Amino acid sequence: MPLKPKRLALAAGLLAVAAAGGAGMATASDGDAPVGAAFVPLDEVVVPIIGSNRVEGTLRVSMVIEAKDESEAAKVSDRLPELRSATLAAAVEYSRLYASALAPVDAERLRGDMTAALKQANPAVGRVLVTEVSAFPV
């Protein structure tokens, strides 16, 4: 079964990153995560991409919240419904302003927007790590 052009472009981009040694990708050896950091996964967020007063596509995002330690992670976990609400609001806003079903998603900007929104909702949030993101036309 042949790949659709969007998926083919995504596969080619992933191969290019892998060939470059994952340049620009954070790994455990980068030293960015504090020692003893704890991670809290969030449910996948799916929001519409709207342009010209119609739904043009779908933005899907999977994320993990990084907390500085287990006690901060527990504080984050206790307020997941509130964080889910903030995540949805930030994803809709990002989708409205920056997403396109026919262009790559700026994951760095998305990460920054999500981190700011979730830190405002709960100061125990260290940062948000985008683990998977995609935009597909309808």
Query: How would you classify the pairing of strands 54-67 and 127-137?
Result: antiparallel
| Structure token pair of residue 138 | 């309808």
Please report, rounded to a whole number, the percentage of residues in the chain having pLDDT higher than 90: 70
> What average pLDDT does this structure show over 89-96?
96
| Structure token pair of residue 64 | 């993990």
Q: What is the largest CA-CA distance in the chain?
A: 48
pLDDT value at position 53? 87
- Asked whether residue 11 carries a pLDDT value surpassing 50, the answer given is no
Please report, rounded to a whole number, the percentage of residues in the chain having pLDDT higher than 70: 75
User: How many angstroms separate the CA atoms of 20 and 49, rounded?
Assistant: 31
Cβ contact 83:118 at 8 Å:
yes
**DSSP letter string over the chain?**
-PPPHHHHHHHHHHHHHHHTTSTT---GGGS-SPTT-EEEE---EEEEEEETTEEEEEEEEEEEEEESSHHHHHHHHHTHHHHHHHHHHHHHHHHHHH--TTS---HHHHHHHHHHHHHHH-TT--EEEEEEEEEEE-
pLDDT value at position 29? 38
User: How many angstroms separate the CA atoms of 90 and 79, rounded?
Assistant: 17
User: How many angstroms separate the CA atoms of 127 and 108, rounded?
Assistant: 12
